[in-house]
A = this chain, B = another copy of it.
Amino acid sequence: MPPPSKPHSTSYKSTQVKVDARIAPGKIMSLLSPDEVQDLLKVGHTELYPLFRRCTLAVLNSGAMEDDAKAVLEAHHNYDIEVIQQSRGIKLALYNAPETAFVDGEIIHGIREHLFSVLRDILYNHKAIKNPHKHLDSNTATTDAVFRVLRHADILKTGQNSPLIICWGGHSISRAEYEYTKKVGYELGLRDLNIGTGCGPGAMKGPMKGATIGRAKQHLPQGRFIGLTEPGIIAAEPPNPIVNELVILPDIEKRLEAFVRVGHGIIVFPGGVGTAEEILYLLGILLHSKNTSLPFPLIFTAPESSRAYFEHIDQFIKKTLGHKAAHCYEIIIGDAPKVARTIKKGITEVFTYRRKHKDAYYFNWLLNIPHVFQQPFEPTHEQITQLEISQDLDTPILAAHLRCIFSAVVSGNVKDSGIRRIEEQGPYKIQGDIKIMQLLDELLKSFVQQGRMKLGQKSYQPCYELVRI
């Protein structure tokens, strides 16, 4: 949904009706041992509490027309949540929760499921994945962790080969772009293609709404609408309640790996720097020598009016990663049916390949993800300065480093920690080959021109400086 630029005045807070409620689990977390109940009761009194509160507030607020995480948190400063014991299980006690999550006093089913998904995953990530006794220093161990989180969240389904399309793109896009994502989603729904996104509004919500209508016209049952998120992003990009399977991955890198392991194809809509980060991540992997024969449908698409976005991206990719990289994707402008037809055809090849190579339909085990793409990247000034950006690098490594640059810009633009770093230490110093620096400069400037850099601010103040070597 296009972001309203209205200021978050006090009147907003005061008119907001808030409710207290007790929510019993549906199918998630309904069967607990006394030990597990004790663990859950403690959540409110551990270091997990702030995360839990923040994520559940995001979920509860997902119906609202608000995508500024900070504003949401402020507007609901007196929101609280508690896990309470209820005979042999638990309930969630909500205090001052946004009324939009409720219908006539009953919580919306999709939101209820998301609340318990949050609880389930935060605890599982903490106990089973982030446990210091578990070493994730190897490639295999990381993939195993991603697999286990997804399986624990019941995302992986055997015996089905129903296709899952991942949709990427900005959460804050123009109305024309939003309408276009709905159209593409509609065409995907007409073709019984399921949809996974990173949650949030904009390009993540449009395809699901469209697909819902497309499926209805085909008299299909509700499809799979999968949301893959992570703690740092869920507040700004809460899951739309249409999402009927939600999982919170432990961090950005595992979320990215989850996208490319469970998706059978990916459609990218216009977005901002974050979308560029995702594109670089995927291209870096697909360019790896072990992945070259692996079919992986990838489409960049936009309405005619946003043709420029992908033209700039395309130029940047060709000039930095080379024309080989450009063979990994297809750009389709203003033709939603063609997008759906093309991705469907691509997916047929994916299934054929998996069958031939005896790989699972539900998880892309054969995709080789170099460890550099799995390691969490913390965008400190030091890390940024040390990143080598050079034509001499192996293309996948260059892609990985460029992806880190975009990740840093996202952080400096919108994340709390990043903004604080910039305030304290000044803009990131990004340095590298003069040619690449120039290309980067052009690309980022085009984002600024298209108004894709930062929300609700009149003129964009860059959080980076490009230093040419």
Contact = CB atoms under 8 A, between A and B. Distances in A.
A109 B217 contact: yes
Given A33-B144, A35-B144, A87 B216 contact: no
Interface stretch (A218-226, A385-393, A457-465): A218-226
Could you say how many copies of this chain the assembly holds? 4
Contact of A365 (B27, B88, B208): B88
Given A33-B147, A35-B144, A140-B34, A217 B108 contact: yes
Interface in A364-388: 365
Interface in A325-352: 337, 341, 344
Given A110-B219, A222-B216, A222-B219, A363 B158 contact: no
Contact of A144 (B34, B87, B156): B34
Contacts of A33: 144, 147-148, 151
A242 interface: yes
Given A103-B190, A144-B34, A156-B31, A216 B212 contact: yes
A360 B27 CA distance: 15
B219 A358 contact: no
A148 B151 CA distance: 18
A96 interface: no
Interface residues of A, number: 53
A7 interface: no
Nearest to A223: B216
A221 B222 contact: yes
A53 interface: no
A304 interface: no
A152 B158 CA distance: 18
A241 interface: yes
B109 A219 contact: yes
A421 interface: no
A455 to B, nearest CB: 25
Contacts of A359: 87-88
A42 interface: no
A159 interface: yes
Interface of A: 27, 30-31, 33-35, 86-89, 103-104, 108-110, 113, 140, 144, 147-148, 151, 156, 158-159, 187, 190-191, 208-209, 212-213, 215-222, 225, 240-242, 244, 337, 341, 344, 358-360, 362-363, 365
11 contacts: A30-B158, A30-B159, A31-B156, A108-B218, A110-B217, A110-B218, A212-B212, A217-B240, A218-B241, A220-B222, A221-B222
Interface pairs A-B: 10 shortest CB-CB: A87-B358, A217-B241, A88-B360, A109-B218, A30-B158, A216-B242, A212-B216, A103-B190, A109-B219, A110-B217
